[in-house]
Amino acid sequence: MAFDSRPIEWSWTLILSVLLVVGVVTISLFGQYLMGPPNIHSARALVMLLEVSGLILWLVNKPQALLVGASMAIRLCGVLLLVTGTAGVFFAAHNWGAAIIGQIEWIAHFLVLVALVDVYARGRLSLEGVLLGICVAGLLAISFFAFRWIQMENPADFNWFWGAYPFLHIRHFAFLILPAAISAFYFAVSAERIAKCFGIVSMTVLLAALFWAGGRASVGAALIALLVGLLFVATTAHRGSFFKLLLQVLIVTSAAAAISELFSVNHPGMGLSFNHGREVADTVDAVSSGRLSIWFSVVDNMTWQQWLFGHGVDNYRYLPNRYDETVHPHSWFFQALSAWGALAAVVLVGGLWALTLRVIYMQFRIKDRSKPNDLLFFSGLILLSYLVLSLVDGNFYHSWGVLLLLPLLAACFCNFYRISATTAQSKSLASGWLYGVAAIIVAVVVQIVNVTTIFRGSVPAPNDWRSQVVLAVPYNTILVANWLEPWQQVDQNEMLRLLRWLQTYSADKYRFMLIESEMLLQEGYKEASLNMYEKAVNSAPARAKKKLIELGPPEL
């Protein structure tokens, strides 16, 4: 019989696991304020800083790399990720700086997963503590939103859609709330009264926040997870337990929907609705908010090198033929296809789906219930919900979201490969893998210099070492255009050099080609101005290209 006697087993390992997860999420999200306004790149830099710190601790504490030694498939996946991503930097990337930093980020994710498997196998990571930590982190994020809400005179009129700080966008809020709600579901089915009350209340609050945010994919992923959870109870518990839980879930979801309506805001993109205020949609692409066009733009005109190695990690935003000015493909599969090519996309995405479904399926088959098995089921359920969401959203684009899943993946891999701790230290890790960590450290330094220079508010001088680092490694080009006018006042040649740099590396390069086209026209070079205009049209996203053609070339 499932879920009858499962009190929380408090220990220092569980407490430290909770603090670890909450600390990582808090630093990744709220630490952005230390670097300037919250933005994706600052969050990525903080995640890399946390990961490299953890990897150094792992390397000095007799690393074993049990995951790498457990399976040839894991080793081949690691090599495939390394080879395709690195080759993409040289053969297929539109912005080599973004590609190489993005590739190092994913190598860091892989190494952290290997390290976490060691930690979990040694009994130094509590899976129950991880679930509790995810739940608490979600509640803390909601508390911060509640604090912002009560500070506003008219919170319902505030643009929460784009002002959901420390999240850049309200949909990113769901990337934390979704796994937190499923973690709360685990505690809601506990037989221990305190844990059960905590789980029910937390689940209600978290689902209400999810419904309030209004992402169709995240709400759908949550409902699918709840249905799979109910099916799990139906096949492992007696009938009375199932109907009791079914009633409980119905009451919780109804209460959550009612609470979300109490805090509804004046924005069509939020709240529970099918098409967010655009109820009349004449095409499937319109219903999907342009997802089909975005995905088609990933494969449109791909060369054979790009089918093999992708466009380069984090290079979708630089594609001249992309649908609009979105920065990622809004799909884990198409993100992987763009980053590493077709083979790597199938292996990595398909492998993650296979592992998740295998873990969940095995828990259905086990008749003798125990807490470790139930924990694994809910870990698999969180992974399943994240994968469902990733079919149409960019949750795997955000480093902190990936980092949140790694402890759950570590536990699933330990179960799948039956990994247990050994006393032997891996000889290869003692020296060879230090080079990988050294590369991550360099990437972290570049990221931190980049984001603190670009987002700090002031414009660096052309000869400032920080501006030179930004221009030397074009990892992030957001807001660099704000330097043009101040640099023009200092040195016209430096401004022109920056303008050409933006034309080469900026995600909006066509805009800076139009600026030069206007400048050439003002100087009387009509033919050169027209050539630059045509170059801008060819470099623009599909939507912008259509507008440029309608407007025509600049005229005096």
- Distances from the Cα of 211 to the Cα of 168, 381, 516, angstroms: 18, 19, 46
Q: By the 8 A CB rule, do 441 and 144 touch?
A: no
In whole angstroms, what separates CA 81 from the centre of its chain? 18
Token digits of residue 364: 């259905």
pLDDT reported for residue 422: 63
Digit-coded pLDDT (tens) for 536-549:
998 888 888 888 88
Collapse the DSSP code of 313 into the 3-class scheme (helix H, G, I; strand E, B; otherwise coil) and give the result: coil
Total residues found in the chain within this entry:
556
> Backbone phi, then psi, for 456, in 5-degree steps?
-75, -15
> Backbone phi, then psi, for 215, in 5-degree steps?
-70, 120
Residue position matching structure tokens 């959870």? 229
Of the candidates 325, 329, 393, the residue with the CA atom closest to the CA atom of residue 542: 325
Report the alpha-carbon distance of residue 6 to residue 241 in Å, rounded: 14
Q: What letters, b where the CB count within 10 A reaches 16 and e where it falls short, cover 113-122?
A: bbbbbbbbbe
CB atoms within 10 A of CB 404: 26
pLDDT reported for residue 522: 87
For helices 332-340 and 342-365, angle between their N-to-C axes, nearest 10 degrees: 140
Residue position matching structure tokens 């054979």? 304
Angle at 327 between CA 326 and CA 330, to 5 degrees: 75
pLDDT reported for residue 2: 45
All residue ranges of the chain with pLDDT < 50 are 1-5, 423
Of the candidates 336, 267, 259, 334, the residue with the CA atom closest to the CA atom of residue 294: 334
- pTM, to two decimals: 0.93
Report the alpha-carbon distance of residue 502 to residue 478 in Å, rounded: 10
Does the bond joining 166 to the residue before it have cis omega, within 30 degrees of 0? yes
Report the alpha-carbon distance of residue 66 to residue 219 in Å, rounded: 36
- 450: Cβ contacts below 8 Å, ≥ 6 apart: 41, 45, 469, 470, 473, 475, 476
Report the alpha-carbon distance of residue 189 to residue 187 in Å, rounded: 5
Report the alpha-carbon distance of residue 168 to residue 152 in Å, rounded: 19
pLDDT reported for residue 193: 86
